Amino acid sequence: MSKKSLVIKVVKAQGVWSNSGASDDNRWMSAAISASWQALGRSGVNPPVGCVLISKDRQLLAVGRTGRGGVPHAEVDALQSLCDVGRSALKGGTAYVTLEPCAHQGKTPPCSDALIGAGIGRLVVAVQDPDQRVNGAGLSQIAAANIDIRLGVMQREAEELLLGFKNRLQKGKPFCSLKIATSMDGRVGLSDRKKRWLTGAPMRRYVHLLRSQNDAIVTGVGTVLSDDPRLNCRNEGIADDSPPIYVFDRLLRTPTTAKLFESQHKVTFFCGGSATHRRHNELMAAGALIVQLPDDPSGRPDVTAGMQYLGEQGVNHALVEAGPGLATSIIAADAVDRIYWTQSNHILGADSLAAIDNLGTEPLNEIAILPEKKYVQADYRVIGDDRLVTLNKSHLNSL
C-alpha cells in the first residue's frame, strides 16, 4: 500500500497512524503545544496552532505559532525564522504541528505546500483539521510527496486548545466559559451591591491572563452599573491582548462614561426591542455597536442568539464575567461549556447576593439532574489565598 492511500485510511479512522513513532515525538509535540498556548485568544478566527521543526539528526531548529489575528500560520512562522543553515538542516527533518496543515488558499498560501517545499521527511500531527476545507486534504497532499506522517500524537492535550475553533465550526457558536468569584458560602457580594474585592491580587492576575486567552468578554448591564469594570488585561506584557467586550443590556442603560469605553476595541451591546432610539444614538455616538436580539421567554435578550452572533463574528472562545442575572440566564440556556469558580475565605451570609439566581423547578431539573447537563470537576488549584475549581460540561470528558 502506498503512503498516500495509507494516510487516507488514517484520515477516515482516527487513532491509526501511518508509521511507527520516534522515541521523542511526545517531547517535541509537547513543545509545539506549549507554543500554541501563546496564540490562544490572539489568533482571531483561525485556530491557535504551534509548530516545531527538527533536523534529521533530531536537533531543534525553530518554533512557530499562529500570529496575531491568524497570520502567519504556525508552520510559516517557524519556517520564516530559519536562516540558510537552518533551512539546509531541515532537509529530511521533521515538522511537529498541533493541527493538520492547511491545503487551501486563504489569506496565505497552503502550509502543506510550504512544508513540502522545505524538504521535510516526516510530519507529526496531533489533530486532524475539522474544517471541511482541509479535513484530511493536507495530510493526503503531504503523503503524496512521499513524506512519512504520524497522526494523533498528544491529541487530547492539543484538542484542549482547539475546543473553541471546533465548537464554532461544528455548532456555530464559541466555546463559552463562565467565571464566577464567590465567598466560601457561594456569595458574590453584600446586599448593598457596592464593589468589593473578594479574591486577592494573585487570583486577579490569573483572571487577567484568562481574559487574554479568550476572543471575547461577555458581561451584563448589572455588572456595568454596580462595578463599572474595565474588563481588560492589566498584567504586564498582555495589555494589548485585551479582547472585545459584549454587554447584554436590554434597555441600553449603560452610561456613556462607563470605563468599558476605554477598551481598544468597539464595545458591542446586545439589546431588546424596548430600548429607545435616544439610547441607541447616545451609545453609538460614544463608539458602541448596537445589536438587537430577539427576546427570550422572560423578556431579556436571548442568550442563544447572542452566542450565535459571536460565532458569526468568528469568536472561538468567549469568557462570561457577569453577576447573578446573566450568569443564571446563560446557565439556564445551557450555553456554558466550562466554569471557572473562584472562592475566597470570606463568609458573607444568607442575606448577601447568591452567585446564581432562582432557577425555578423546571429549569433546575433540566440543568442539575440530567447527566448530560452535569458539570464535572476538571481541575483544582490554590492561587494565593484563594481556590480555583474548573468544571467542564460532562461531554468534554469524552474528548
Residues 276/290, Cβ–Cβ less than 8 Å: no
Residues 219/229, Cβ–Cβ less than 8 Å: yes
d(CA 70, CA 233): 20
pLDDT at site 1: 36
Count of other CB atoms within 10 angstroms of residue 312: 11
Exactly one of 75, 157, 159, 282 is catalytic; name it.
75
Which 3 state secondary structure label does DSSP give 141? helix
Residues 49/56, Cβ–Cβ less than 8 Å: no
pLDDT at site 197: 74
pLDDT at site 187: 86
Residues 52/95, Cβ–Cβ less than 8 Å: yes
- Chain centre distance of CA 160: 9
The counts of H helices and E strands in the chain are 13, 16
Where does residue 39 rank: exposed (0-12), middle (13-18), buried (19+ CB within 10 A)? buried
d(CA 168, CA 164): 6
Count of other CB atoms within 10 angstroms of residue 340: 20
What is the DSSP code (8-state) at residue 72?
Answer: S
pLDDT at site 346: 85
pLDDT at site 192: 62
Rounded average pLDDT per 10-residue block, the chain, 399 residues: 39 44 91 97 95 97 96 96 97 97 81 96 94 85 95 96 94 96 82 73 96 97 94 93 97 97 96 95 97 92 97 97 92 93 88 76 54 82 96 72
157 is catalytic: no
